[in-house]
Amino acid sequence: MKTNRLGIPPGPTVAEARHLLEQHQEKAWLMMAQTYGKNFLYQGNLVTCDPRLVEALLMDRTHTQRRSSVYKYASWMIPMAPGLLFMDGDAWEKRLRAVMPVFTKANVDSYAECMHQQIEQHLAHWQENQLFEDLYTLLVNLNSSLFLKVGCGLNPNEAGARQLGRTLIDFKFHYMNTQSRLDDFGIGKQQLTRLPRFLQAQWHRVRKKRQLYTQIDALLNQQQKGDARGLNWMSRLREADFSASETADEVNHLYGAYNALDYVLTGALYELSKRPVLAETLRTEFRTVLGERGYPTRDDFRLLTHTLQFMKEVLRIYPATMAVARRFGESMTVDGITIPKGQETLILLHALHHHPDFWERPDHFEPSRWQSEPTVSYTYVPFLTGPRKCIGQHLAELNFVIVLNALLQTYSIEVFDTTIRLAPFMIPRFERKVAGILRRRKREAPTLSGNELNA
Ligand code: HEM
């Protein structure tokens, strides 16, 4: 295979990549890695699913200190993007210090009961047989009430909070519309045909941004400094003297991050609808481990063996992003190839999680594979690892398990079409709406644990 001055295969042309994405959707990046190798060049970027490079890029501070220009470009292009993910240096550290106490394990654990109660309240409005047009939208609405409660310290039933929830959701759906974005990796000059829609969408985004600022300002003014309910991002940012517009940017950004959960939970329920026996196993495990309490905390995780294996497999099959962008802070030599300082790089998370060199039967959904850990390190990184990993991991895992338990105990799920693929965009979503029905179950008494049965 031909290589260039870096000694790395040149990879596909834009037209080839586009063709593969159209034909093979989410599988396209893995196919490129199999054709060109685990490292190849594409549009000047190094694209990698080589665990050695992944380890260096994630763990070595020389490569994590400065953000990739992909993020700088995004924060410049998207109104309200300037959030933690897009920042580096002192500005990132200052903001991280403000919000981090909310994300600590101990603090996250303290949310379990109130999250569970919030979900129960939400489910009380659903019907016996709750038809849904789109599972993802259903979960967006459910999780947004948790975001408002836990992340913003608001009562999701109050008018101001409800309005904020609607604005955040509206902005997110608008922003995720791939037809009005220009940052779709692999599309090339085709993007220019989207320019008019992009400009129109930007205008709406700016209007939404103003709305959000006004709403957050009003909510902050209602609360005096120090009287917020519990630890939350909004009050923490206010205490750290961030302006209303910076606070609004960050709240919106954290909401965007929270959205990863909506997608991952959609994947989880979609898989369970195909596997009623597995759904029943998880239900029984929850009942056995949780007993009268009825909701899980992080302390229960070590006993929720099947549930955690299931969650890991969902995160392997449905990583929240197809790839993350990084930049080499220093030059690095691997196998005689020297990657220069400043080289922009894409780490292909989806391809890492699906490469047949690292996984047996990679396309099969098999929670039991998690009876042991992967044989090659840095091939499974749904939340990344190292200095720029996801700071919401503890919260996301708790939220996942709490929602799963509440839904499984209350409903059986049926998805009408279980052949829906993922759209080929960098931030993956199901290509079509996932419609179906949730059928209410009779509440069952907690199952006695093995010890209790033997007593
Ligand atoms: C299952 C759900 C989630 C998954 C799989 C996930 C995954 C990720 C990944 C892969 C990144 C790195 C992105 C990059 O560097 O390009 C990230 C960053 C981040 N996540 Fe999550 N995330 C989830 C939920 C959450 C939640 C609920 C929050 C909290 C609101 C959150 C907050 C963040 C933040 C603030 C960052 C940026 C951290 C930084 O760059 O310093 N995430 N997440």
Q: Check residue 146 and give its pLDDT.
A: 95
Residue 9 counted as domain residue: no
Which residues have C-beta atoms less than 6 Å from ligand 1?
84-85, 254, 257-258, 260-261, 264, 315, 320-321, 324, 382-384, 388, 390-392, 395-396
* CA 391 to ligand 1 centroid distance, Å: 6
Q: Check residue 378 and give its pLDDT.
A: 98
Which range, of 156-170, 193-207, 335-349, 394-408, averages the lowest pLDDT?
193-207
411: helix, coil or strand? Answer: strand
CB 244 within 8 A of CB 217: yes
Over range 387-403, report the average pLDDT: 97
Q: What is the CATH number of the domain that holds 95?
A: 1.10.630.10
Over range 239-263, report the average pLDDT: 92
Number of structural domains (the chain) is 1
Residue 8 counted as domain residue: no
Residue 416 counted as domain residue: yes
* CA 445 to ligand 1 centroid distance, Å: 36
Question: pLDDT band at 66, cuts 50/70/90?
Answer: very high
Question: pLDDT band at 450, cuts 50/70/90?
Answer: very low
* CA 399 to ligand 1 centroid distance, Å: 14
45-48 and 344-348 beta bridge pairing? parallel
Measuring from atom 36 of ligand 1, which residue has the nearest CA?
390
129: helix, coil or strand? Answer: strand
**Distance (Å, whole) CA 253 – CA 89:** 18
Measuring from atom 13 of ligand 1, which residue has the nearest CA?
324
Q: Check residue 242 and give its pLDDT.
A: 92
Which range, of 64-78, 91-105, 126-140, 213-227, averages the lowest pLDDT?
213-227
Measuring from atom 5 of ligand 1, which residue has the nearest CA?
320
Question: pLDDT band at 144, cuts 50/70/90?
Answer: very high
Q: Check residue 455 and give its pLDDT.
A: 31
Q: Check residue 181 and give its pLDDT.
A: 64
Determine the atom of ligand 1 nearest the C-alpha atom of 92. Answer: 41
Q: Cα-flanking dihedrals φ and ψ of residue 346, to 5°?
A: -115, 125
* CA 95 to ligand 1 centroid distance, Å: 15
Q: What is the mean pLDDT of the chain?
A: 89
Question: pLDDT band at 224, cuts 50/70/90?
Answer: low
* CA 125 to ligand 1 centroid distance, Å: 30
Measuring from atom 16 of ligand 1, which residue has the nearest CA?
324
pLDDT in tens, 111-142: 999 999 999 999 999 999 999 999 999 999 99
Measuring from atom 15 of ligand 1, which residue has the nearest CA?
324
- Higher per-residue confidence, 5 vs 403: 403
Q: Check residue 173 and give its pLDDT.
A: 80
Residue 7 counted as domain residue: no
- Higher per-residue confidence, 223 vs 166: 166
Residue 6 counted as domain residue: no
Ligand 1 pocket test, candidate residues 99, 147, 390, 427, most atoms within 8 A of CB: 390
* CA 129 to ligand 1 centroid distance, Å: 34
Q: What is the pTM of this model?
A: 0.93
Which range, of 140-144, 168-172, 185-189, averages the lowest pLDDT?
185-189
Determine the atom of ligand 1 nearest the C-alpha atom of 396. Answer: 27
The two tokens of residue 375 are 């044989």
Measuring from atom 28 of ligand 1, which residue has the nearest CA?
392
Measuring from atom 21 of ligand 1, which residue has the nearest CA?
390
Which range, of 18-32, 127-141, 219-233, 307-321, averages the lowest pLDDT?
219-233
Model confidence at 22: pLDDT above 90: no
Residue 172 counted as domain residue: yes
Determine the atom of ligand 1 nearest the C-alpha atom of 255. Answer: 30
Which range, of 64-78, 129-143, 287-301, 379-393, averages the lowest pLDDT?
64-78
**77-91, 159-173, 403-417, range with greatest mean pLDDT:** 403-417
* CA 8 to ligand 1 centroid distance, Å: 30
Q: Check residue 102 and give its pLDDT.
A: 92
* CA 10 to ligand 1 centroid distance, Å: 31
**Distance (Å, whole) CA 325 – CA 44:** 13
**Distance (Å, whole) CA 411 – CA 398:** 20
Residue 348 counted as domain residue: yes
Question: pLDDT band at 165, cuts 50/70/90?
Answer: very high
Owning domain of residue 448: 14-454
Residue 4 counted as domain residue: no
**Distance (Å, whole) CA 54 – CA 353:** 12
Model confidence at 444: pLDDT above 80: no
* CA 85 to ligand 1 centroid distance, Å: 8
Model confidence at 312: pLDDT above 70: yes
Measuring from atom 39 of ligand 1, which residue has the nearest CA?
85
* CA 162 to ligand 1 centroid distance, Å: 24
> What dihedral angle (degrees, nearest 10) is formed by the CA atoms of 163, 167, 169, 172?
-170
CB 220 within 8 A of CB 238: yes
**Distance (Å, whole) CA 440 – CA 413:** 9
Question: pLDDT band at 217, cuts 50/70/90?
Answer: confident
